Amino acid sequence: MTQRVHVTDLEAAINWWRERSPSPDGISAAPEVRALAEAYAVLALSREAAIDAAALKPRALDAWLAWYATTPDSPCIAICSTAQGDPICKGCGRTFDEVQHWPALGPFEKRVVWQRITQEGTAWRFNRYAERGARS
């Protein structure tokens, strides 16, 4: 499976770094922001939604991984319907296999799942129990 970084994750990482390391003069950007922005520009020019992680320069990859470390690891809201036999968890939106294998997934695979369940927006974490999910 190709490991990819979605444009929305690049945007989130850029904004996180901009907040963490604001421009001292209103013009220059932190090295991490510049590295991530370069990858973002590649996506914009190619009109793609994701970039291969292997195409990221080391500084961009390190910056993305630093941002990733600040995100919630699991979408779980402690209401797991896969334990009752549902193929898709009503609480978090993950498949039974995703729930079972979550600890073994790497950051890129986890972000693919996060992207999907966020776009679908049907899991209870996004509606009925949004406040519980916000604490995750």
- Classify residue 74: in a domain, yes or no: no
| Residue 56 and residue 29 in one domain | yes
| Residue 19 and residue 64 in one domain | yes
Tens digit of pLDDT for each residue in 98-111? 999 999 999 999 99
Q: Which of 41, 68, 95 is the last residue of a domain?
A: 68
- Classify residue 76: in a domain, yes or no: no
Whole domain around residue 33: which residue ranges?
A: 4-68
Mean pLDDT of all residues belonging to the chain:
91
Domain count, the chain: 2
| Residue 55 and residue 95 in one domain | no
Tens digit of pLDDT for each residue in 12-32? 999 999 999 998 898 999 999
Q: Which residues, in sequence order, are CB contacts of 92 under 8 Å at separation 6+? A: 74, 75, 76, 77, 79, 80, 99, 117, 123, 124, 125, 133
Give CA 123 to chain center in angstroms: 17
Residue 7's nearest CA partner among 62, 72, 71, 64 is: 64
Mean pLDDT to the nearest integer, 56-80: 95
- Classify residue 23: in a domain, yes or no: yes
- Classify residue 40: in a domain, yes or no: yes
| Residue 88 and residue 40 in one domain | no
| Residue 57 and residue 87 in one domain | no
| Residue 11 and residue 40 in one domain | yes
